[in-house]
Structure 1
Amino acid sequence: MNEIRWEDPFCGEGNSCFRLGTDTTGNAYIAIAGEEDTPLTDSRDALRRMILDIKAGKADHLL
């Protein structure tokens, strides 16, 4: 896998922070801050995980 360049965490009033990143070939990634070693690369998986986190109260600042 190419090295991922992570942006600063996006945090709001919720319980978790998300980070967005890109690699040298332009692919995009999303991960929960602190869990960058397991980023999501598929938009379906990213959306599913984000919805589950919102339902679990981990990402209420995104609503």
Structure 2
Amino acid sequence: MPDITWEEPFSAESSNCFRLGTDANGNAYIAVAGQEETYLTDTREALHTLIRDIKAGKADHLL
């Protein structure tokens, strides 16, 4: 696992909290807070997953 520096979680009432992070190479990561070992990188799959989670109401606080 890369050495990821995580930012403070973005949270909202009754929603999952997401954390954004970066590594020394400037790659971006996103994970559900508390589950940082299961992260997504800045791939097309990551973007699709984020959009699906937003549409499902899991990340409404990011809008």
Name the TM tier (shorter chain).
0.7 to 0.9
Partner residue in 2 for 1:32 = 32
Contact 2:27/2:42, CA 8 A, preserved across alignment: no
User: Structure 1-normalised TM-score?
Assistant: 0.77
Please state whether the residue corresponding to 1:52 is helix, strand or coil.
helix
Separation in 2, partners of 1:36, 1:6: 9
SS in 2 for 1:61: helix
Contact 1:53–1:59 (8 Å) recurs in 2: yes
Identity %: 67
How well do the aligned residues superpose, as a CA RMSD in angstroms? 1.8
Aligned to 1:15: 15
Q: Which runs of 5+ in 2 are unaligned?
A: none
Q: Which runs of 4+ in 1 moved over 4 A?
A: none
Q: Displacement of 1:14 after TM fit?
A: 5.4
Q: Secondary structure at the match of 2:41?
A: coil
Q: Distance in 2 between matches of 1:62 and 1:17?
A: 10
Aligned residues: 63
CA deviations over 1:1-49 (Å, ceiling 9, x no partner)? 3211111101234501111111122211111112211111133122111
